[in-house]
Structure 1
Amino acid sequence: MAPFGTDRPQKEETVSDDEALRRMYRVTSDYDRPFKQKVQELLDLGREYLGVQAGFLTEISDGTQLIVEASGDHELLQPGNSCPLSKAYCRKTIDQEDALTVQHAALEGWEDDAAYEEFGLESYIGAKVIVEGEVYGTFCFAGDEPREEPFTEQEETFVELMAEWVSYELFQKRATERIEQQRDQLEEFASVVSHDLRNPLGVVQGYLNLAEQTGNPEHFDRCRNALERMGVLIDDLLMLAREGQSIGETESIELAKLVRDCWEFVTAEEATLKIDADIVLKGDQSRVQQLFENLLRNAVEHGGRDVTIRIGVLESGSGIYVEDDGPGIPEEQRDQIFTDGYSTGEKGSGFGLTIVRACHRTLHTL
């Protein structure tokens, strides 16, 4: 049996049912107090009201019980402690519709139970915490001494109300986190859309001007190709926004042909592209095209109008490289180049290399 210290509320010193409910309401309705602090105050209040030595909030996952918050000095019931669920009183709590109560464990069939052997608790009351229809854990109170009287209906209701409040707060916390994540994803999506559509738009504008000046129908074909590319980008980015980081079907891709196709969508009249890689890749066609379009555009924007870009195979044969003869990236800035929104240029969006990194995992050499 795990020993307790002297911090043991006595039943005769506990508050009345009405006073306990009033104090619980004051705690839970105070929106300025953090969740962690309110849980701690509820556990302290519960110990005082119920006349027991320990109060604790658990999280149950993968057959393990973890103590999240606790009140009292039981050495095994402290925040961060964990045990197999098979050795916890709470394993029976989560199977109950209402609160589980134990007045005197040794007389109620618990003497050979693994939980009784592990914790030595004689009295116990706990209710399960449900978040989004699934068991999160339990909200419990326990003591190493039996109770003279069974837990009353009011006491059970008190514990169930606190467990329901915890359930609601955890649901709100998850919902808030999801909203913030969705907002961040929307902002990133908008940035990627504006970044990757910018170059095909520039191609359309450039060839429309040439078409007006020369009347050459080939320029209109270039515009159509750029508009089709924009349509593909929009469809793929919408799919990415809906499905997270999932990718489409992979296929064999001729590197040289793909890079030449990407070059058509880069506004670089004075730049030079050299391809020294006659290899076949395997990946998501659209993602790989996004990757190289961003690398080529990045080289032109930061390497100068007459930059030379070379694409080849590493000497080890384990990968490919993209290099240019521009000024390069200052050494002190290299650790930041993949940070969303970071750019070494005054007009850069800072998303080009972020998109490259996201697309890179879809790429494999055959």
Structure 2
Amino acid sequence: MKIVIAPDSFKGSLTAKQAAGAIYAGVKRVFPDADYEVVPMADGGEGTVQSLVDATNGHFKTAEVLNPLGEPVSAEYGFLGDGQTAVIEMAAASGIQFVNETTKNPLITTTYGTGQLMLDAMHHGAKEIIIGIGGSATTDGGQGMAEALGVKFLTAAGTPIARGGGGLADLATIDTSGLDPLVKTTTVRIASDVTNPLVGAKGSAAVFGPQKGATPAMVATLDANLTHYAAVINQTLGRNLAEFPGAGAAGGLGAGLLAFTQSQMESGIEIVVRETRLKERARNADLAFTGEGAIDFQTQYGKTPMGTAQAVKMASPQAKVIGLAGNVGEGIDQLYDLGIDAIFGILPGVVDLSTAIQTGEANLTRTAENIARVIK
């Protein structure tokens, strides 16, 4: 029997590698002689760096960068096992965790630190960068990121504009002559399932601005500034990104990456499936386990358990895919026709969240073992 174990992290409780290990421990008690493929997974969001480094025997690096408020912090990113592909989560440098109710302000928060991470990776030999762009504290259109890479954003007087979404109002010209030469020879793969445009009713400011601290008045200002920013990019580079699907991801970082780097948008889970060689490793599988902290109707929209299940089914249509979750929500019936054969909650009874998090490993191992016993 061949068994694939490929979960995402259980947020706040277990990394994807730890979750995979817990499932493996339970199933192996029942099928000690099975052929196992253990593949930690992610979908481009939090935990992607950890999962890809673990799955490819890569390594981590740390760089000193600026957080969204311009304060120095240490941020971690990874290199895959090939030594030439870096994987970065923009949140490591520019994430919402760096601000609080008092300090969050998308008029001033910047993606400059994300650009610093990218540049550090390039100068350490990265020929390709995978960048997950969820969890941002910013709405600067990726201006800060591009500035860190060497692009100059200037006022009519020829002085640098202020960083942050507010500074874009003063943008008159963009000078790319100082762009680091490595940017032109480095491929950037943007891991995002967000399809929002940069501006408008479904744009970055309107949809995501409020959760980053934007008042209704700020939303209007930011949307106008991003509209102006897109117009200057179009005039300077001939790239019309205002309505481009995904350009509004991470406060418009998607637009900045598309404008100033050699980049393309990709599904986060598809990138992880490809880099971990999940399909190849799942060939001739009889059984597969996946999962994450919660499984519900949203799982079908690019989440790890669904992407994993579909990849396994493509490689081995006969394989049965089991989903495990700390919380099983509504709408899971929709998932049974899309690749997941059965879904199980791992909690032994009614417990508070703190207890569920603390006992996640034991609960996952026990549930996986019991499912394996039924199958046996």
TM-score w.r.t. the length of structure 2 is 0.25
Larger RCO: 1 or 2 (CA < 8 Å, sep 6+): 2
More helix by proportion, 1 or 2? Answer: 1
Larger radius of gyration: 1
TM-score w.r.t. the length of structure 1 is 0.25
